[in-house]
Amino acid sequence: MSERILKYTEALREATDQVMAQDSSVCVFGLGVTYKNGADGTTGGLKQKYPTRVFDTPVSEHAVTGMAVGSAISGMRPIVHHGRVEFSLLAADQMFTQAAKWNYMFGGNHPVPIVIRIAVGRQWGNGPQHTQSLYGMFGSVSGLKVVIPSSPRMAKGLLIAAVRDPNPVVILEPRWLYALKQHVPEGIYVENLGKAQVVQSGKDITLVSYGDGLVSAREALSIIGEKASVELIDLVSINPVDHETVIASVSKTKRLMVVDTTHASFGIGSEIIAGAAKAGVLSSAPVHLSCPDVPCPTSTALTEDYYPTKVIIATTILKAMGKAPIEQTLSFEELHLAPSITLP
């Protein structure tokens, strides 16, 4: 019997369909979510199945998110979709000040079970204004849970867990991963919203990443082969950060490398390195791969040197181990087109 393979977007759609079928309080808000291929294919057909619970909205992010926050406070479980992180910033007050703080202000007896899905990160030709991730901004907000799915299987499990959670949960979805494929269980299941996952065990060096950086890290390990024993950790959650899993790994390997697919300044990688440094488990200086501290260019001639690639990651790991670098040239497709590979 062949495995059931879904794309990242298909896994998100299935998760939404299943929680809506199971719980009549779940509803969906967002620009274009009622379209045939709504929200990049993640809500297609749901309006026909749940006509009174899927709402196409105007380009009014603040008002729409505020309406959803109010419905969550009143007992609904809304899912709000923002197709670009830059657009979601217009709803910053509703996310960061209202949803994130409401339960705390009222003694913990007034949950706000809202899920906010936001597409983030790189996409060919989108340039400086539509390729931001802003992970550090969302991760710094007390009162929010913030997760980044790195695979179709995780995307489905995290979305279901987020809908069931009484707290506001932000799901930052790297659009670079939307075409990824993987075996995804058909039934309802959940992934832990606050727990990192050890993707591969190793003893020489700990490699920590998340989202699209995690996919590049996986590919880097296939290049390295047996030249180094790498423990690969998918951070999964950036609020809260699972320092315990990372520190346990670095306590064993004594070396740490972090891959960010955004700027290093005030970023997730810096937070991971700080946690390991405070724990006193490093025997050498940590390595931090990230994007330059400039906006992402539009030109492909410039973006080919912008993001950490699998070759850069592999070469940096080997350098940290005192071994010869990898000599490999990447094609235009590998550098600039979103991956459509099938993950294990």
Catalytic site residues? 61, 130
Using left for φ > 0, alpha for ψ between -120 and 50, and beta otherwise, residue 109 falls in: alpha
3 state SS of 320: helix
Provide the pairing of β-strand 181-183 with 205-209: unpaired
Runs of H (alpha helix) within the chain: 8-22, 38-41, 46-49, 61-73, 85-88, 92, 100-105, 135-139, 152-164, 211-224, 243-253, 268-279, 300-303, 310-320, 332-336
Please state, in angstroms and rounded to a whole number, the distance separating the CA atoms of residues 89 and 130: 12
Q: Which two tokens stand for residue 113?
A: 């079970």
Per-position DSSP letters for 26-86, written without gaps between them: EEEEETTTTSTTHHHHTSTTHHHHSTTTEEE--S-HHHHHHHHHHHHHTT-EEEEEESSHH
Tokens encoding 170: 């932000």
Structure tokens at 128: 């400086």
Q: How far is the C-alpha of 223 from the C-alpha of 77, rounded, in Å?
A: 44
Q: Phi then psi for 81, rounded to 5 degrees?
A: -115, 125
For residues 255 and 276, give the distance between their C-alpha atoms in angstroms, rounded to a whole number. Answer: 10
> In degrees to the nearest 10, what's the CA dihedral of 155, 42, 268, 249?
10
Contact 280, 310 (CB under 8 A): no
Location of structure tokens 């070396």: 255
